[in-house]
Amino acid sequence: AVKEWLSMLLPLALDREVCIITNMGAIDPPGAQKEILDLASSLGLEITVAVAYESSISGPENSVLWNESMGVAEGRSTYLGAAPIVHCLENYKPHVVITSRVADAALFLAPMVYELGWNWNDFEKLAQGTLASHLLECGCQLTGGYFMHPASGFVSSIC
């Protein structure tokens, strides 16, 4: 399913000069990076894919890795924040940024910080951005896309 929607989304994002930021890397961001580079190649697209995650290893051609701390090699996977994503955007101008586990709001806050030139010491803007990011990330739960009926034990999310 991911390859299907990326097959449609990648050409549109390139046409519109929009960077795709995704946490689909889970515990294997380099593996996800390779999949996206292979898919882009099969579509005849040349792209750069940056990876924000917590371990240090070499990446394939046309790739950039950003490392916050050691972890994956030892079986740990910690949540990253917006800073590694902003680092990728500022330094590599990628077409796609893949993260490992990341705070959900970071996927929205990072592009705000990058595009609006926010300073990491401007706590008022960061707080407002974090609130907006959280609302965007949880929007489907806020608007009824999430259903939980405790009596039935049934939990569903269509996000």
Max distance between CA atoms of the chain, in angstroms, equals 52
Q: Which of 12-21, 64-73, 99-108 has the lowest mean pLDDT?
A: 64-73
Check residue 71 and give its pLDDT: 37
- What amino acid is encoded at 111 in this protein? P
Share of the chain residues as helix, strand and coil, in percent rounded to the nearest 5: 45, 15, 40
- The number of domains in the chain is 1
- Asked whether the predicted pLDDT for residue 70 surpasses 50, the reply is no
- Read off the pTM: 0.78
Query: For 14-64, what is each residue's pLDDT tens digit?
Result: 999 999 999 988 888 899 999 999 999 999 999 999 999 875 444 555 555
Across the range 93-101, mean pLDDT stands at 94
Helix (H, G, I), strand (E, B) or coil at 33: helix
Domain limits for position 121: 2-157
Cα 147 from chain centroid (whole Å): 25
